Structure formats: structure tokens, C-alpha cells
Amino acid sequence: MDTKQPNNNELKGLSSGMTVVAWLLVLGLLTMFFNNWLDEQRNPNQQIMGITNSDGIREVSLQRNRYGHYNASGYINGHEVEFMLDTGASDIVIPAHIADNLDLKRGAALTYRTANGDITAYLTQLAEVELGNIVIENVRASINPAMKDGEVLLGMSFLKKVEFTQSGNRLTLRQYPR
């Protein structure tokens, strides 16, 4: 029987290869960990737990992110989106690429005056918008082709239908029964 023993150079090559694989694995795991950590820093409200009290008032409490904004995961017409609450926006404002994914129809063109100048956006109507257990139906929205972000601005067309109060780093939204 002829058994060949690996020589010293083959063992060093195998050892070097395993070291590289181990470092790549460690770097991959660290990247995954820090991406999740950064995502939680940007949107600490990914899993919203709303409550409904005995009077039927629905309540959602949001934590401010490290940048001073209130970002939260929610739904438009049953599709998950990320909202950034914006009391300065008249409507819910949806980037065009997200509106296309949601199959939203573009209505009349309107000119909006923003902090960055005038923009043209397109009216649309949302059947349902959900934030935790708060659900608002038939909400006016705008599709903005100039927005490249992955967030939907949750503007006053939604917020005017709820009560909201801020205390410290928490924003509480309440929807009263009709």
C-alpha cells in the first residue's frame, strides 16, 4: 500500500487557507451584527406593539431614533414599509420606486413647496395605512419621483386623524373610536 504523507508546504497551505476562511467567517458575522445594530439605531420601532384600552382607544408608543426622528415600520395597503413621521408634510409622501412596488396609480400632478424648493408630485389614494394597531382608511397621499430614500413620509393626511403627544424620547399616537 502506498500512502503519501502530506509534506510541510502542503500543511502550511492548508493552514493558511483555513485561517483565511475563519477570518472571512468572522468578518461576515460582524458585518451582519453591525448592520442589524445600525438598522435598529435608525428604526427602533420595527416591532410595534399597540394597545387597545377598554374604551376602544388604540394607542401606539414610538421611540425616537438616535438622529432625533420617529421612524417606524408599518403597512400601506397590506405591504410593509418604513415610515418617518413628518408633521411638515401635508400628505403621506411616497417615493416613486416604492409607489411602483405598491402598484399605486398616479393621479393629478401637483406642485409642492418644500424646504428644497418646488417639486412635482402625483396624488394617489391609499385604501389602508397601518401603524401598529392604528388603522386609517382612504388616506390621501402623494407620489414623489424626486425622493430616492427608502422611507415613506407619514404626513398630516394620516396624523390629523390621530392624537399625538410627545414626552421625552417617546411619541404616543391615539386613535379614538368613531
The CA distance from 48 to 54, in Å, is 20
Q: Which residues pair with 170 in a beta bridge?
A: 63, 167
β-strand partners of 118: 113
Going by C-beta distance under 8 Å and a sequence separation of 6 or more, which residues neighbour residue 148?
Answer: 95, 97
pLDDT band at residue 95 under the 50/70/90 scheme: very high
pLDDT tens by residue, 17-32 = 667 777 677 666 666 6
Q: Is pLDDT at 72 greater than 90 in this prediction? A: yes
Cite the beta strand spans of 107-178 per DSSP E: 109-114, 117-131, 134-144, 152-154, 163-167, 170-175
Q: pLDDT-based confidence at 38, cuts 50/70/90?
A: very low
| Half-sphere exposure of residue 39: CA atoms within 13 angstroms, side-chain side | 11
Cell 424646504 found at: 115
Nearest to 74 by CA among 176, 147, 152: 152
Say if strands 134-144 and 92-95 run parallel, antiparallel, or are unpaired: parallel
Nearest to 73, CA basis, from 84, 57, 63, 88: 84
DSSP-assigned beta bridge partners for residue 135? 130
Residue 73 CB-density burial (10 A; 0-12 exposed, 13-18 middle, 19+ buried)? middle
* Residue 160 or residue 4, greater confidence: 160
Looking at residue 139, its pLDDT comes to: 98
* Structure confidence by residue, pLDDT tens digits, 130-156: 999 999 999 999 999 999 888 999 999
**59 pLDDT more than 90:** yes
Counted residue by residue, the chain has a size of 178
Which comes out higher in pLDDT, residue 106 or 9? 106
pTM for the whole structure: 0.76
- Where are the chain's structural domains? 1-42, 51-175
Is 51-175 a CATH 3.30.1320.10 domain? no
The average pLDDT across 35-42 equals 52
- Give per-residue pLDDT as tens, 97-135: 999 999 999 999 999 888 888 989 999 999 999 999 999
pLDDT of residue 149: 86
